[in-house]
Structures are given as C-alpha cells and as structure tokens.
Chains A and B, each alone.
Chain A
Amino acid sequence: MIRIDSVTKRYPDGTVAVDRLSLEIPDRSITVLVGPSGCGKTTTLRMINRMVEPSEGTILLDGKDIQQQPVNTLRRSMGYVIQNAGLFQHRTILDNIATVPRLLGWGKEKSRARARELMERVGLDGALAKRYPYQLSGGQQQRVGVARALAADPPVLLMDEPFSAVDPVVRKGLQDELLRIQEELGKTIVFVTHDIDEAVKLGTMVAVMRTGGRLAQFAPPAELLTDPADSFVEDFLGTDRGIRRLSFFPSAGLELLTAPIVASDTTDEQIAARDLTDAPYLLVTDLDGKPLGWAERDTEIDTARLLPYGRPFVVATDSLRAALDCAVLSPTGWAVAVDGEGRAAGVVSQQTIGEAIRGAHAKSATTQKAAR
C-alpha cells in the first residue's frame, strides 16, 4: 500500500502545488487522481517516485518511507507511463520495452524475450518489434509505453495522463485494454487524468483534487456520482452525472421481450399466434438472427422499408446506461439487446428501462446504508 501522509509541496517562489495531502492508495487496484489543471495531481504522482521531493510530510510504500530508499532502486520498482509515451526514438520497439530489465542487469536475450511477451500482453503485433517509434501510430506508441512500464513486473504502476493525447476512439481502446491487463496482473496503479469520465471508468477509487493541491473527495466512482462532497465536486462531475451513474448498474436484470422478434421468413400465421399486447413494433432479423430493422405491427413486412434499429446493447455486459442510450436513440423508443455474436436477444422499452433504473437506485441506497 502507498500511504501519502500530510504531504506538502511548496516551490521556492512560494507556490503551493500540493497542500497537506493525505491519501491511502489501496493495493492491486486503480486509484485515479483527477482535477482541473494546477490542482497538483501530477506533482502528487511524481512525488511517489521521487521525481519531485515533498517539502513536508512522508510517503510510505508498504510501510517504509520512500526517502530511505535509493532513488533509482525505488524508480525501477515502479512502472512509469507518461503522456505521448516518451519512447526512445533511437531504439527499436523491442529495446524500448526491454529498458528497465536491462537496467536491472538482466541478460540481453532474457530482456528481449520478456519484451516480446509484453508486446503480446498489451496487444501489439510481434511484427512491430524491429520497428522504430516514428513508424508507429500514437495509440501503438502508448501501448509500447505501457509495455515498457510493465517490463520488469513492478508491483506499482504510475500513469501520468497516458491517454490524453490520442483521439477518443483510440483512447477508449486503450482504456479497455488497461482494464483487461489490470484484471490479469492486479497492479497497484496510480493514474492521473483531467478527464472525469476516464476517472469514473477506470478508477476503483477516485481522488478529486481542487486548485491549490487539496483533496476534495476520495471515494469509489459510484459514490462520487451519487453523493458528491461539495459543490466543487458536483460542478466538476458535470451536469449528467445521473446518467453516467447508470454505467455502474448492469443491464443483466432487464426484462427482455422476445415475442416481437421476427425472422425475415416468419409467416403471418406464426406472428398472429404470438402475444404482442405490449409491442407496437416488430424487430425483423435476418435468417441468422441479426437485427435488420423495425416494422410496425399489423402492416405487411417489407425488408427494404424498415425503420433503423440504432445501436444495440450487448445483454449482460453492457450497463443500464448503454441500454437507455440505445432506447433514446431508437426511432421506436425501444432498445435492441444482442448477444455476443450480434444476434437479437430481445427488445425492451424505455418504460421498462426506467423501472429498472428506479429499482437499481433503490437497491444501491439500501446497500449503501448497510455499508455505513
């Protein structure tokens, strides 16, 4: 565990970057430091590997004061990922990743073998091993940055706005990849970002910091969204925190209707035999079960003239937020649930989703009360 104990960083010109900050960073989970620029989040991170030395206070790593350890030994025991990756342009991808093992005195072959293993782990094609950084896209470079930080298998990973410089699509991919890697490796990750959505998505715990280097709130993301400590945190979370909180409720409990799903070869008699009392629309699928579009009930089905079904949500893995979004976007007001292979698993109305949301809120309120 990393324990930050009333740490202050004051620069010679009198600016206070971090002000009596205390934080307990739990093991094997992602702790996100988030806040507006100038809130001292990066300074806090850099004090953990002593890139910045605190003016007051102590930082303990597994109970030991980090000041008592040789600085380079300490740094080699912590992976470090920065914005834009900071790769060494004169080294190949493989040698970039092998940097820390080489510093630790591993042999060249062993280091490279390890680097290859990590390329695979972070989802990089092995063919890139002999390439140079300039030949890679921004997203690929950042994967190399993560692989390099993980190379010596450090228990702690420090990440300073690692995904801020890539476009939103690539960023989402990198975030999902990080969560997947974390599930496999279980590192103690300290992650700095200015993006509250990223913090809520990645963090097991989120520390919201305010200008002047003070801690505003330290809580799991769901609690942050339900119960912001003050107006600063509330403003920082943005206006749609209610919607975003739905990300934490699974869509698994939704009651899906299967009766309105018809394949393109379903006959009128078969449709007539179904109970369609609550369903004004039919979801037409192809013979494989993949959705094609909506048709109005009691009209003749013409596969060339269907209403678009929008973006389906994946049943069980997607959250209530995805399901609601889907229903809002759908021209019929009904969301389409699909299974992992993209086959229609059921349809659900906005009304049903609304009931599920109310149910989920009620349930989380009781569990929170029980936790207190």
Chain B
Amino acid sequence: MNILNYIDAFFSDNAHWQGYDGIPTRVAEHIGYTLMALGTAAAIGLPIGLLTGHTGRGGNTLALIATAGRALPSFGLMVLMFVLLGLGMAPVMIPLVVLAIPPILVTTYEAMRSVDPAPVDAARGMGMAETEVLFRVELPVALPLILSGLRSAAIQIVSTATIAAYVSFGGLGRYIVDGLYQRDYEKVVGGATLVAAMALATLGLFWGVGRLTVSQGVRRGSAG
C-alpha cells in the first residue's frame, strides 16, 4: 500500500520530529489555532444560545444567521479578509470563528428548548431566581446536546485550520501546502494523517468531558 508506505516514511524520519517544522511544533500551533477559534466562537455562541433558548425568543433570527454562516466558504472568506486586512492572525481566525458559531449557537438554542418544561415550572414555583433556573435546572439537562455542538464545531475547526498555511501561518496545513508545492507526497499524507488523528483526539476529548460533566441521571435518562 502506497499510502501506508508514505505514512511510515513520514513518521519514521527523525528530521520530522525536530525544529520549527517538526511535528510537535506544528501540532502545538494547530492546537493553538483551534483553541483560539473555538474559544472565540464559544464566547459568542454559547451566551446567545443559552439566553435565546432560555427565553425562547429569537429562534428564527438565529436559524437565519446560522444558515448564512454555514453558506460562507471558509477559504474564500480567508482570502477576502487577507486582501482587506493584510497579513495577520485575524484573516485566519475570522473564517474559523464564522464556521464554528452556527453549530454552537443552533445546538445550544435547541438544547435549551428541548428541556422538559415541567421541572423548569417546578423550579420557578419553588422560588428559584431566573439565573438559578438557567444554570441549575436547564443547563445540566441541556449539557449533552450543547457539548455535541461544541464537538462538531471543534472538529470542523481542526480540519479547516489547515488553511492558515496558505497565508504563511503554521499548523498542520503547512505539511499539506508545502508538500503539494514541493511534490513531496510523503509530507502531504503525513500532514493529512495528523489532521485526522487530531480530529479523532478531539472526539475522544469531548467524550471524556461528557463523562465528567454530564450527570448520570441525564445520561441514562436520555438513553432510555
């Protein structure tokens, strides 16, 4: 198998594990971009999703914004931003954030809307303040869905962050872009493999976070 040979050659080459173009550096850069983009998208998407979901207002507007956001091509947006803003982190971050907000926003809103209204009514009737109702009653029940939104956003960012390499930034895209340019397919396949591995690692990470933060009563309750 050609591809397996490429992968084996790429990872067994000692030179690929050292220096500014080494795997550890590129992986760290990629993680850095992903965290920055996911953090920004979550900082925008979560509060809006929680609030609109809690009050039940603005759902249609949200759906509209989300569809528009999904329709924007990330690569094109980055090139446009690069032309408008020049070289910098912003042209890379803006398309990644725009890509990540719709899944976070829409699933958070849907998650909050799908919470059984009876316990919420009971909570209010027992004298919980609105913030307590949101954080102590609705959020713990909505958490699995909210996490799934964050997870799909994170995976999309991981795979799309490779575009940063086109505007001379680092990350795993470096191997793919440079490899294609140099016709070094070992590098291309190696980079792609690393991206795929990181996407899988992200899945695993979110599974772990879910195990730790979602109450057993909610996990089992929604399963059966």
A366 at the interface (CB under 8 A from B): no
* Chain A residue with the shortest CB-CB distance to B220: A134
Can you name 18 A-B residue pairings with CB atoms under 8 Å?
A49-B125, A75-B127, A76-B127, A80-B126, A82-B125, A85-B118, A86-B116, A86-B122, A88-B123, A92-B217, A100-B127, A103-B127, A103-B128, A132-B215, A134-B224, A135-B220, A145-B122, A149-B126
Residue B141 interfacial (CB < 8 Å): yes
B124 adjacent to chain A (CB < 8 Å) = yes
Q: Given A86-B119, A88-B119 in contact, is the A132-B125 Cβ separation under 8 Å?
A: no
8 Å CB contact of B126 from A76, A133, A135:
A76
CB neighbours (8 Å) of A100 from chain B are 126-127
CB contacts (< 8 Å) of A51 on chain B: these are 121, 124-125
Which among B122, B215, B216, B218 has the highest number of chain A CB atoms within 10 Å?
B122
For A85, the chain B residues whose CB sits under 8 A away are 118, 122
B174 → chain A closest CB, angstroms: 44
Q: Is A317 an interface residue (CB 8 A)?
A: no
Distance in Å from the Cβ of A171 to the closest Cβ of chain B?
Answer: 18
* Interfacial chain B residues near A80, Cβ < 8 Å: 122, 125-126
Say whether B126 contacts A90, CB under 8 Å: no
A residues contacting B by CB (< 8 A) are 49, 51, 71-76, 80, 82-92, 99-100, 103, 132-135, 145, 148-149, 158
Contact assessment for B217 and A103 in the assembled complex, using a CB-CB cutoff below 8 Å: no
* Beta-carbon contact of A72 and B127 below 8 Å: yes
Beyond the given pairs A89-B119, A103-B127, A132-B220, 13 more chain A to chain B contacts, judged by CB atoms under 8 angstroms and listed by A's residue number, are A51-B125, A80-B122, A80-B126, A82-B118, A85-B122, A90-B218, A91-B217, A99-B126, A100-B126, A103-B126, A134-B217, A134-B220, A145-B122
What is the distance, in angstroms, from B207's C-beta to the closest C-beta of chain A?
19
Q: Are B141 and A90 in contact (CB under 8 A)?
A: yes
Residue of A nearest to B125 (CB): A80
* B137 interface residue (CB < 8 Å to A): yes
Interface check B129, CB cutoff 8 A = yes
Cα distance A51–B122 in the bound complex, in angstroms: 10
| Contact A74 B215, CB 8 Å, known A80-B122, A84-B118 | no
B76 is an interface residue with CB less than 8 A from chain A: no
Once bound together, how far apart are the Cα atoms of A87 and B119, in whole Å? 6
Given contacts A133-B217, A134-B217, contact A90 B127 (CB under 8 A): no
Q: Which of B125-141 contact A (CB under 8 A)?
A: 125-129, 132, 137, 140-141
**B interface with A by C-beta (< 8 Å):** 116, 118-129, 132, 137, 140-141, 214-218, 220-221, 224
- Asked if A91 and B215 sit within 8 Å, CB to CB, the answer is yes
Inter-chain CA distance A332–B66, complex, in Å, is 76
| Complex interface: chain A residues within 8 A of B127 (CB) | 71-76, 100, 103
Q: How far is the CB of A184 from chain B (nearest CB, A)?
A: 22
Taking CB atoms, residues of chain A closer than 8 Å to B121 are 51, 82, 86
Contact of A89 among B124, B126, B129, B218 (CB under 8 A): B218
Which chain A residues border B214 with CB–CB below 8 Å?
90
| Residues from chain B with Cβ under 8 Å of A82 in the complex | 118, 121-122, 125
- Contact among A71, A74, A89, A158 with B141 in the assembled complex (CB-CB below 8 Å): A89
B137: which A residues are within 8 A, CB to CB?
Answer: 88
- State in angstroms the CA–CA spacing of A328 and B121 once bound together: 46
**Are A72 and B129 also in contact (CB < 8 A) when A86-B118, A89-B217, A134-B220 are?**
yes
Q: Are B217 and A132 in contact (CB under 8 A)?
A: yes
Residue of B nearest to A84 (CB): B118
Cβ contact of B125, chosen from A75, A89, A133, cutoff 8 A? A75
Among A73, A134, A149, contact of B221 (Cβ-Cβ < 8 Å):
A134
Q: How far is the CA of A76 from the CA of B127 in the complex (A)?
A: 5
Which 8 A-B residue pairs are closest in the complex by CB-CB distance?
A132-B217, A75-B127, A86-B122, A80-B125, A90-B215, A76-B127, A86-B118, A90-B140
Complex contacts, A86 vs chain B, CB 8 Å: 116, 118-122
Min CB–CB distance A31 → chain B (angstroms)? 18
Residue of B nearest to A82 (CB): B122
In the assembly, what is the distance between CA of A170 and CA of B189, in Å? 65
State the CA gap A308–B186 with chains docked (Å).
Answer: 90
Within the complex, the shortest CB–CB distance from A357 to chain B, in Å, comes to 44
CB distance from B141 to the nearest CB of A (A): 6
The CA of A72 and the CA of B132, in the complex, are separated in Å by 12
Shortest distance in angstroms between A144's beta carbon and chain B's nearest beta carbon?
Answer: 11
Q: Of residues B120, B141, B221, B224, which shows the largest number of chain A Cβ atoms within 10 Å of its Cβ? A: B221
Alpha-carbon distance A84/B129, docked complex (angstroms): 22
Q: Which residues of B contact A149 (CB under 8 A)?
A: 126
List the A residue with the shortest CB-CB distance to B128. A103
Identity of the chain A residue whose Cβ is nearest the Cβ of B115 in the assembled complex: A89
How many angstroms from the CA of A51 to the CA of B218 in the assembled complex?
A: 27
For the complex formed, measure the closest distance between the CB of B20 and the CB atoms of chain A, giving whole angstroms: 47
Chain B residues near A92 (CB-CB < 8 A)? 217
CA distance in complex: A74, B124 (Å):
11
Known A83-B118, A88-B137, A89-B221; judge A132-B126 contact (CB<8 A): no
Q: Contacts of A133 on B, CB cut-off 8 Å? A: 217, 221
Chain B residues positioned under 8 Å from A90 (CB to CB): 140-141, 214-215, 217-218
Q: Which residue of the partner chain B has the closest CB to A51?
A: B125
Residue of B118, B125, B137 with most chain A CB atoms under a 10 A cut-off: B125
Interface centre among B126, B140, B141 (most CB of A within 10 A): B126
Q: How far is the CA of A188 from the CA of B118 in the complex (A)?
A: 23
Q: Which of B119, B123, B140, B214 has the most CB of A within 10 A?
A: B119
